[in-house]
Amino acid sequence: MLNTAELDRQVSIRVDASGEHCPMPLLKTKRALNQLASGQSVCVISTDSGSVRDIKAYAKQSGNELLAFFEENLNYIFYLKKA
C-alpha cells in the first residue's frame, strides 16, 4: 500500500471541498477527473461525511480506482486514479 507521501507525488489535481456540502464534493471530484488523462490521479479533501459514501460509490460505478481513503481531524481525504 502506498503512503501519503507517495500518493501526493502522483497527484495531478488537488480538490479542496472543505466546508462544502453534498453534492459539491462529488461534483468537484467528477470535474477534476474529467480534466485528467487515464492513469492520472486526484486528491480530494472534504469535511462532508456524506462524501465518504458518495465518492466511494462513484469510484465503483465509474470504473475509476480509489487508491486510498483517510480520515484525519474531521477531514475525509480521497486519492482516486482515472480509469
What is the CATH classification number for the domain harbouring 65?
3.30.110.40
Please give the Cα distance from 38 to 83 (Å, whole number). Answer: 5
At 31-79, the pLDDT tens digits run: 999 999 999 999 999 999 999 999 999 999 999 999 999 999 999 999 9
**22 is known as an active-site residue:** yes
Catalytic residue chosen out of the listed positions 22, 24, 66, 77? 22
pTM of structure: 0.93
Asked if residue 19 has pLDDT above 60, the reply is yes
Please give the Cα distance from 11 to 56 (Å, whole number). Answer: 18
- Say if residues 25 and 52 touch (Cβ distance below 8 Å): no
Residue 27 or 7, more confident: 27
Question: Structurally, how many domains does the chain consist of?
Answer: 1
Asked if residue 16 has pLDDT above 60, the reply is yes
Could you tell me the residue range of the domain that residue 69 belongs to? Answer: 4-81
Asked if residue 2 has pLDDT above 90, the reply is no
